Amino acid sequence: MNSSFRRLFALLVVGIGTYVAVSGLRMWREGKSWAGLFSDSPIHQPEKFTLPEKAPLELGAMDSLSRLNEEYARLTQAVVPSVVSIDTAGVREQLLRDPWGRARMQREMTQGQGSGVIVTEEGHVITNQHVISGQNQIQVTLHDGKSYQATMIGEDRMLDIAVLKIDASGPFTPLKLGDSSQVKVGQIVFAVGNPFGLSETVTQGIISAKERSISDQQRDLFQTDAAINPGNSGGPLVNLQGEIVGINVAIYSPDKTNPGFQGVGFSIPSNDVRESLKQILEKGRPIHGFLGVRVHPIDERLKQSVGFDQNQGTLVVDVVKESPADQAGLQRGDVILEYNHKTVQSPIQLISMVQRTPVGQEIPLKVWRDGQIMSMTTSVVENRSLSQSAEQQSTTTLQLIRQYGMVVRSFTAMEVARGLSGVVVTDVDPQGLASSSVEMNDVIIAVNQRQVTDAEDFYQQFIHSITRQPTTLTLIRNRQAIVVTLPPSEPDPIDDK
């Protein structure tokens, strides 16, 4: 027994010794200490490293880029103090109906955020109208972090511009409105604003294109690839001198649910902004020229139907009674070829020229009618000077809304930039003639297969048609296109006298 025990003990000692020797040799090769033999955690051994102390290039060797780098920084420091963050709050009322058709108003708090830029020493701020639309509380936060309440002085819905006044004593640091007519494609620009609520963000790009249009109202915009995101609306687009050449207004994004910058942003040219600003400050309202025609693009089908063979002009589809166009002799079916000696290429271009024409100025027209070229002279008036005609149209519109029980709204500039078009149905009366065909939140894109651009255009087309004939509406409902037909309007007993 003693002999067997001694042999077993000897084998055990040899085995342990062999294990220790092999493990020690392995740890020696791996550079580990003996403590690692009895620990589950590896022991870190410092790595040898050498960090470079010199940049690949000296600034002196890149003199031009070095100066450009400093100039960009100086430009940013000069511009940012004039850019403000705008926070808004308000109460939105929405008409709802219970299962029995009874109407009730629902109120909900709304909040918004955008950007703006100070343009006068007295503290006038330019921003987008859609930033403050429907909001009754406006707070402006300056570069130094101080916040003040602001009052809206006026707005230009057609241009999507609003003018605010900071409720504090100045002087403030304004930016100059530059001359947007001198802007060139390829010119370097900087967009400044507060995207996603992040303050004082500066992005750089170029003017990608000019005279872009995203709706009948938003026309002749600058397109830029300087990054613009939600929250940048109302902020300035500046040139290398720090002058405002545009007010950022919209972006294009194929993602309708979560819009983000895709390299295509739009800005309102500063010359348009300056004119609207002066009118609002001096007269309390923007002034736009009004001719009194509704026009339509000329396509091949229309050319064949009217016998027109030129590659310019826009077709007159309606003339407002007692308007300048009516007094000049324009008729439905005419083709306007020239306006104030400038060739007319599209309805949007004509509308833009009319709106920019000073009120009362005589304008020569060249018109095609039944194969003959005619010369006419007209003028433009301010929209509000046709209040009586507008009141009559408004009365007719209200009568038809009452009969059909259908209320619509235009898409906002931001919604249009996301690719939406037509009008949205915001209310349908269960007792109205449209209740069996139209539903709330339907998007109406055409009347009698003619495209609808906004609420005013829809009502004009709808009234013109529904008082004479059954009218078809092309709708988008649950992402599906459907066509419904509404019967002609019935005489309103309230108006029978």
Residue type present at position 41 = S
pLDDT at residue 347, rounded to an integer: 81
Coil, strand, or helix at residue 443?
strand
Q: Is 130 a known active-site residue? A: yes
Q: Is 454 a known active-site residue? A: no
From 82, 115, 156, 160, active-site residue: 160
DSSP 441: T
Beta strands in 173-219 (DSSP E): 188-193, 201-212
pLDDT at residue 294, rounded to an integer: 81
pLDDT at residue 31, rounded to an integer: 60
Rounded to an integer, what distance in angstroms lies between the CA atom of residue 62 and that of residue 56? 11
Helices (H), 332-487: 347-356, 387-404, 413-417, 455-466
Phi, psi (deg, nearest 5) at residue 495: -95, 0
From 115, 180, 215, 233, active-site residue: 233
Rounded to an integer, what distance in angstroms lies between the CA atom of residue 80 and that of residue 173? 10
Q: Exposure string (b/e) for 314-342, b if CB count within 10 Å is 16 or more?
A: bbbbebbeebbbbebebeeebbbbbbeee
pLDDT at residue 397, rounded to an integer: 61
pLDDT at residue 102, rounded to an integer: 53
Instruction: Return all residues near 338 (Cβ < 8 A) that are at least 6 apart.
Output: 344, 364, 365, 366
User: Do residues 208 and 224 touch, judged by C-beta distance below 8 A?
Assistant: yes
From 130, 270, 276, 410, active-site residue: 130
pTM of the complete model: 0.62
Residue 477: its H or E element: strand 471-477
- How far is the CA of 87 from the CAs of 90, 111, 115, 227, in angstroms? 11, 7, 9, 21
First to last CA, the chain: 135
| Ranges in the chain, pLDDT < 50 | 216, 385-393, 492-497
User: Do residues 187 and 229 touch, judged by C-beta distance below 8 A?
Assistant: no
Q: Is 464 a known active-site residue? A: no
